Structure formats: structure tokens, C-alpha cells
Amino acid sequence: MPTFKLILAIFISILPLSPLRVLGYLLLGYQITKSKIGFGTLILVDNFSANQSKIGWFNLFIGPMNVVIDRNVSVGHQNKFICGYWVLQEQYKKFNYTRTLQIEESALITSNHYFDVVGTLILGERSWIAGVDSQFWTHGAGTQNRTIKIGNDCYIGSAVRFAPNTSIGNNSLVALGSVVSNQFQNENVLIGGSPARILKENYNWKTDIE
């Protein structure tokens, strides 16, 4: 981790006003347009862009990764988006870690979640990472496909665990405490359990009440 840039990023993160923090991060080369950056949010990545979005306080975006945050995204507080610098070591370069985070338009992430961004993680349009304490892992022993893709209009409950090489189809709900270890291409489903499976089809989480 570059020490000077880290010290500068920490200083920027504790500036007293959001416009000052945005200006500081612009000077570091990031692309931030009409967005708010909360107090204590530390950004130290290869590339970062945010457009008309709101990022709360004490979030961490740290590591040699690329971050794209589309319009009208809301990120709560104390989330961690991490890519370990170990991926740059010579013995790991052959694995071609993609190191990409993409949060699409109008998505919502609440607070206190962990995102491992060694591979690729995509959160679809208008999807919610709700509750607290969910974890998303894009790498692991023996894993070659390191992508997690959550479709559009999905709802992810509290304390969910996503393994690498997993996906959720559009307009689906993942229940509290589930462990997602497979790809679910079906849309409009209720997913839950450990390991997670489809519990109900033709399900609309926005209107159906259990």
C-alpha cells in the first residue's frame, strides 16, 4: 500500500464538509460528479467513479481495484469494499484477478456489510443489500470463476453469505442468513437456506407478503 497516498486519503476523509472531501478525492484523480462523500469514508483504489450518488460515513474502499458507482446509488455507513494488495505479488499475477466493483443505477447498500473485490462483483439496478452483516466473497481456494452477479430489482436480507461464482436472477429475494453457493438464473424467486435453494417461484418480494 502506498504510504504517502494512504496518509493523504486519510486526511481527505476527515475534512469537515462533503464538498471538501469530494474536491480532495478529485485531486487524487477519482471521478466524482454531483455526489456526497460521508465523513471518514476512505477511498484508496486504482480507479473510482461516482455519479450523482450518496456515500455515507466511515466506508472503506481500499485496494488495487476499479470501482464504478452509477447514478442515484445510496451507500450507507461502515461498509468495507476491500481488495488485498497481495494480488499484486508476482506469484498471484498469473491468476488474472479482475478486481472490479460495479454498483448499478439506483442500487442501495445499507450498513455494515463486507465486500471482497478480488474478482468481479456486480450489483444490479435498483437492487438492495439490506439489513446488516452480509458478506460477498469473490475468491477462495481452488476457485477459477470469481464473479458475483446480483440482478436487477433484487433484495438481499441480513447476514447473507455469497461464495465466488454465484448469481441471482432479476427481481429475486434472498432470505435472512442464507448461504448462496450456486448460480440462480431464475427470475422472480424466493431463495433461502444453507446452502441456498429456490423456496418459491413466481414470487414478487415487493408485493407478496408471507
Q: What are phi and psi of 5, to 5 degrees?
A: -65, -35
Residue type at 27?
Answer: L
DSSP state of 57: T
Contacts of 96 (CB under 8 A, 6+ apart): none
CA 109, CA 170: separation in Å to the nearest integer?
17
What is residue 209's predicted lDDT score, i.e. its pLDDT?
61
* Grid cell for residue 134: 452480509
Give the pTM. 0.95
What is residue 48's predicted lDDT score, i.e. its pLDDT?
98
Which H helix or E strand runs over 196?
strand 196-200
* Grid cell for residue 54: 450518496
What is residue 76's predicted lDDT score, i.e. its pLDDT?
98
CB 23 within 8 A of CB 33: no
Q: What angle do CA 33, 36, 38 make, to 5 degrees?
A: 145
CA 146, CA 166: separation in Å to the nearest integer?
8
CA 109, CA 20: separation in Å to the nearest integer?
24
How many residues can be counted in the chain?
210
From residue 172, alpha-carbon distances to 49, 88, 178, 201, 202 in Å are: 27, 36, 13, 9, 10
Strands 190-193 and 196-200: antiparallel
Q: Domain locations in the chain?
A: 3-200
Give the chain's residues under pLDDT 70. Answer: 1-2, 209-210
pLDDT in tens, 123-182: 999 999 999 999 999 998 777 778 999 999 999 999 999 999 999 999 999 999 999 999
CA 46, CA 131: separation in Å to the nearest integer?
29
- For the domain with range 3-200, which CATH number is right: 3.50.50.60, 2.160.10.10, 1.10.443.10, 3.30.420.40? 2.160.10.10
User: What residue has cell string 463486507?
Assistant: 114
What is residue 1's predicted lDDT score, i.e. its pLDDT?
63
What is residue 140's predicted lDDT score, i.e. its pLDDT?
82
Nearest alpha-carbon partner for 184 in 193, 176, 131, 119: 193
